[in-house]
Structure 1
Amino acid sequence: MSDALALLKEVFGYFAFRDRQRDIIEHVAGGGDCLVLMPTGGGKSLCYQLPALLRKRAGHGVGIVVSPLIALMQDQVAALSELGVNAAYLNSTLSSAEAAEIERALLRGELDLLYVAPERLLTPRFLGLLERARIGLFAIDEAHCVSQWGHDFRPEYIQLSVLHEQFPDVPRIALTATADAVTRDEIIHRLALDDAQVFVSSFDRPNIRYRIVEKDNARTQLLAFIRAEHGRPDGKGGIEHDAGVVYCLSRRKVEETAEWLASQGINALPYHAGLDAGVRQMNQQRFLREEGIVIVATIAFGMGIDKPDVRFVAHLDLPKSVEGYYQETGRAGRDGLPANAWMAYGLGDVVQQKRMIDDSDADAVHKRVSAAKLDALLGLCETAGCRRERLLSYFGEASHPCGNCDTCLEPPATCDGTREAQMALSCVYRAAQASGVHFGATHLTDILRGQLTERVRQWQHDKLSTFGVGGQFSASQWMGIFRQLVAHGLLEVDHGGHGALLLAPAARAVLKGEVSVTLRQPPPTARRGRSKAAGSARVDHAAEMDSATLARWNALRGWRGDAAREHGVPAYVIFHDATLAELARRAPASLADLQGIPGIGAAKLERYGAALLQTLALA
Structure 2
Amino acid sequence: MTDTAPPPAVSGTPHYILEHTFGYTEFRGDQQDIIDTLVRGRDALVLMPTGGGKSLCYQIPALARRGCGIVISPLIALMQDQVEALRAAGVAAAFLNSSLGYDQVQDIEARLTQGELDLLYLAPERLLQPRTLELLERVQISLFAIDEAHCVSQWGHDFRADYLQLSCLHQRFPEVPRVALTATADQRTRREIAQRLDLENARHFVSSFDRPNIQYRIATKNNPKQQLLQFLNSEQRGNAGVIYCLSRNKVESTAAWLQSQGFNALPYHAGLAADVRAVHQRRFLREDGVIVVATIAFGMGIDKPDVRFVAHLDLPKSIEAYYQETGRAGRDSEAATALLLYGLEDVVKLSQMATTSEGSEEHKRQERQRLDAMLGLCEITSCRRRALLRYFDEELPHDCGNCDTCLEPPATWDASDAARKLMSCIYRTGQRFGAAHVIDVLRGGDTEKIRQFNHQQLSTYGIGADLSATEWRAIARQLVVRGYLQVNGEAFNALQLTELCRPVLRSEESLQLRTLPKAATRVAGNSSGANNAREHIEISLQDQPLWDALRALRKSLAEERGVPPYVVFHDATLREMLSAKPRNRAEMLAISGIGDSKLERFGDDFLALLASFSGTETVTG
Per the shorter chain, which TM-score range?
A: over 0.9
Match 1:353 to one of 350, 359, 382: 350
Match 1:90 to one of 74, 93, 96: 96
Aligned counterparts of 1:542 and 1:110: Cα–Cα separation in 2: 42
Deviations 1:42-72 (A, max 9, x none): 000011001111113xxxx111111001122
CA contact 2:217–2:520 (8 Å) conserved in 1: no
CA contact 1:541–1:581 (8 Å) conserved in 2: no
Deviates more, 1:275-284 or 1:61-70: 275-284
Deviations 1:75-121 (A, max 9, x none): 21110000000011100111111111111111111111111011011
CA contact 1:358–1:497 (8 Å) conserved in 2: no
Match 1:226 to one of 208, 228, 232: 232
CA contact 1:71–1:305 (8 Å) conserved in 2: no
Give secondary structure in 2 for the equivalent of 1:467. Answer: coil
Q: CA deviation at 1:19?
A: 1.0
Deviations 1:408-458 (A, max 9, x none): 1110112332222222122111111xxxx6111111112222223332222
Q: Which residue of 2 aligns with 1:426?
A: 424
CA contact 1:591–1:605 (8 Å) conserved in 2: yes
Q: Which residue of 1 aligns with 2:618?
A: none
Amino acid at match of 2:539: E
Q: Which residue of 2 aligns with 1:333?
A: 330
Q: Which residue of 2 aligns with 1:544?
A: 539
Q: Which residue of 2 aligns with 1:266?
A: 263
Aligned counterparts, 1:513-592, within 5 A: 513-523=507-517, 527=518, 530-532=519-521, 534-537=522-525, 543-547=538-542, 549-592=543-586
CA contact 1:550–1:584 (8 Å) conserved in 2: no
Match 2:24 to one of 14, 28, 33: 14
CA contact 2:268–2:292 (8 Å) conserved in 1: yes
Aligned counterparts of 1:186 and 1:477: Cα–Cα separation in 2: 42
Amino acid at match of 1:558: A
Q: Which residue of 1 aligns with 2:165?
A: 159
Deviates more, 1:492-501 or 1:389-398: 492-501
Aligned counterparts, 1:355-504, within 5 A: 355-399=352-396, 400-432=398-430, 438-496=432-490, 498-504=492-498
Aligned counterparts of 1:71 and 1:277: Cα–Cα separation in 2: 10
Q: CA deviation at 1:32?
A: 1.0
Match 1:293 to one of 283, 290, 293: 290
Match 1:38 to one of 45, 48, 69: 48
CA contact 2:525–2:536 (8 Å) conserved in 1: no
- Is 1:310 aligned to 2:297, yes or no? no
Amino acid at match of 1:353: L
Q: CA deviation at 1:553?
A: 1.3
Aligned counterparts of 1:290 and 1:431: Cα–Cα separation in 2: 55
Amino acid at match of 2:523: G
Q: CA deviation at 1:219?
A: 1.2
Are the structure 2 counterparts of residues 597 and 365 from structure 1 closer, same or farther at C-alpha, using a change threshold of 3 Å? same
Amino acid at match of 2:309: F
Amino acid at match of 2:27: F
Aligned counterparts of 1:417 and 1:402: Cα–Cα separation in 2: 28
Deviates more, 1:245-254 or 1:494-503: 494-503
CA contact 1:286–1:293 (8 Å) conserved in 2: yes
Match 1:48 to one of 41, 48, 58: 58
Amino acid at match of 1:333: G
Give secondary structure in 2 for the equivalent of 1:204. Answer: coil
Aligned counterparts of 2:165 and 2:89: Cα–Cα separation in 1: 33
Aligned counterparts of 1:494 and 1:606: Cα–Cα separation in 2: 64
Unaligned runs of 5+ residues in structure 1 are 232-240
Q: CA deviation at 1:518?
A: 2.5
Aligned counterparts of 2:511 and 2:165: Cα–Cα separation in 1: 48
- Is 1:255 aligned to 2:252, yes or no? yes
Aligned counterparts of 2:424 and 2:87: Cα–Cα separation in 1: 66
CA contact 1:245–1:314 (8 Å) conserved in 2: yes
Give secondary structure in 2 for the equivalent of 1:477. Answer: helix
Amino acid at match of 1:191: L
Deviations 1:192-212 (A, max 9, x none): 101011100010110000111
Aligned counterparts of 2:607 and 2:539: Cα–Cα separation in 1: 22
Q: CA deviation at 1:513?
A: 3.7
Aligned counterparts of 1:514 and 1:174: Cα–Cα separation in 2: 52
Deviations 1:309-353 (A, max 9, x none): 000000111111111111111100000000010011111111111
Aligned counterparts of 1:512 and 1:291: Cα–Cα separation in 2: 59
CA contact 2:77–2:278 (8 Å) conserved in 1: no
Number of equivalent positions: 595
Aligned counterparts, 1:166-181, within 5 A: 166-181=172-187
Q: Which residue of 1 aligns with 2:8?
A: none
Give secondary structure in 1 for the equivalent of 2:267. Answer: strand
CA contact 1:340–1:537 (8 Å) conserved in 2: no
Deviates more, 1:141-150 or 1:271-280: 271-280
CA contact 1:209–1:537 (8 Å) conserved in 2: no
Aligned counterparts of 2:219 and 2:393: Cα–Cα separation in 1: 26
Deviations 1:513-547 (A, max 9, x none): 44433211224xxx4xx444x43459997843242
Aligned counterparts of 1:383 and 1:48: Cα–Cα separation in 2: 38
Q: Which residue of 2 aligns with 1:29?
A: 39
TM-score (norm 1): 0.94
Aligned counterparts of 2:390 and 2:231: Cα–Cα separation in 1: 28
CA contact 2:435–2:494 (8 Å) conserved in 1: yes
CA contact 1:594–1:609 (8 Å) conserved in 2: yes
- Cα RMSD after superposing both structures: 1.7
Give secondary structure in 2 for the equivalent of 1:265. Answer: coil
Aligned counterparts of 2:120 and 2:520: Cα–Cα separation in 1: 48
Give secondary structure in 1 for the equivalent of 2:321. Answer: helix
Q: Which residue of 2 aligns with 1:206?
A: 212
Aligned counterparts of 1:71 and 1:313: Cα–Cα separation in 2: 20
- Structure with the larger helix share: 1
Q: Which residue of 2 aligns with 1:234?
A: none
Q: CA deviation at 1:510?
A: 2.9
Give secondary structure in 1 for the equivalent of 2:42. Answer: coil
Q: CA deviation at 1:364?
A: 1.1
Amino acid at match of 1:545: S
Deviations 1:146-185 (A, max 9, x none): 0000000000101100001111111110000000000000
Aligned counterparts of 2:414 and 2:194: Cα–Cα separation in 1: 45
TM-score (norm 2): 0.93
Unaligned runs of 5+ residues in structure 2 are 6-11, 527-533, 614-621
CA contact 1:62–1:114 (8 Å) conserved in 2: yes
Give secondary structure in 2 for the equivalent of 1:39. Answer: coil
CA contact 2:525–2:535 (8 Å) conserved in 1: no
Q: Which residue of 2 aligns with 1:64?
A: 70
Aligned counterparts of 2:274 and 2:42: Cα–Cα separation in 1: 41
Amino acid at match of 1:349: D
